[in-house]
Amino acid sequence: MPSKALGKYLSHYRGIDDVHLEAFRLIKSKFKVESVLYAGSWIHLTPSLVFPYVVYVDFFAEMESMFNEPELLGYIRNNSETMKRPVIKFHKADYREGISEAKESFDLLISLSGGFASKYCKPYLRRGGLLFVNNEHYDASIAYVDSDYLLIGVFTHAGKLVEDKQRIHEYFLTKNNQPITLEMVNENSKKSPSKAKYKLKKKAPFYLFQKA
């Protein structure tokens, strides 16, 4: 029987069969990514299977004990694809209030269904660094209307990154063919995505931005 934290991680994310894994591998093969900040991570430790240095942030109460759980850490270290033993760091914190990490120090920021991390954690991402994000909490839309981020790719599935400029921008057109604006994103974010006023024409599981 796996321990509590490992059991949770495996049942939610499936460990080495995690669907995100292919996307992380693809990013690593195309870009120079060593250090990663994952804001609103819960126990999604899959990035540490691929990247050598990952800082996780979550304010959920039980997280600290989960991140200290030897079986979960052992599973990640035993299955890691990194050359060196991966460094796994955790902050129990509200990322909106700041975290004790150096500004402009991370190569990749991950924001998956964990609030507006693209906005609050942008200072920690280096210039030219990447943002891997979904749109479940509108964070991809928020990045799209932020001039500090440039959309560079859309994952049509975890293993397929589309980079064609015209095609990727279509993902941020409303059903009336208007590019989404800050006002529209603000209006949308008052409601759940299924009730959004300005629905987007196309949806992808993940988006990739670069910080200017």
| Cα–Cα distance, 55 to 41 (Å, whole number) | 9
**H or E, element range at 76:** helix 70-79
Task: Pick between residue 7 and residue 179 the one whose CB is nearest to ligand SAM.
Answer: 7
Q: Give SS3 for 118.
A: helix
Candidates 51-59, 76-84, 169-177, 193-201; binding stretch for ligand SAM (CB under 6 A): 51-59
| Integer angstrom CA distances of residue 103 from 34, 114, 123, 179, 190 | 16, 21, 6, 31, 30
Binding residue count for ligand SAM, defined by CB under 6 A? 15
Residue 96 lies near ligand SAM (rule: CB under 6 A): yes
56 binds ligand SAM (CB under 6 A): no
Helix (H, G, I), strand (E, B) or coil at 36: strand
In sequence order, the β-bridge partners of residue 37 are 55, 109
> Judged by CB under 6 A, does residue 94 bind ligand SAM?
yes
Vertex 194, ends 141 and 158: CA angle to 5°? 55
Q: Which is nearer to ligand SAM, 19 or 150 (CB)?
A: 19
Stretch of 34-42, 65-73, 182-190, 201-209 contacting ligand SAM, by CB under 6 A? 34-42
Q: What angle do CA 192, 193, 195 make, to 5 degrees?
A: 70
- Residue 173 tokens read as 């057109």
**Can you list the positions of beta strands (E) in the chain?**
35-39, 53-58, 87-92, 106-111, 125-133, 149-157, 160-162, 206-211
Nearer to ligand SAM, 15 or 40 (CB): 40
- Residue 44 contacts ligand SAM per CB under 6 A: yes
48 counts as binding ligand SAM under rule CB under 6 A: no
Q: Closer to ligand SAM at the Cβ: 154 or 163? A: 154
What's the token pair of residue 119? Answer: 């906005």
Binding span for ligand SAM by CB under 6 A among 74-82, 100-108, 112-120, 149-157: 112-120
Instruction: Show the site string, 113-152: x = touches ligand SAM by CB under 6 A, - = not.
Output: xxx-------------------------------------
User: Minimum Å distance from CB 173 to ligand SAM?
Assistant: 25
Does the protein bind ligand SAM through residue 59 (CB under 6 A)?
A: yes
Note the residues at the interface with ligand SAM (CB under 6 A): 40-42, 44, 57-60, 94-96, 112-115
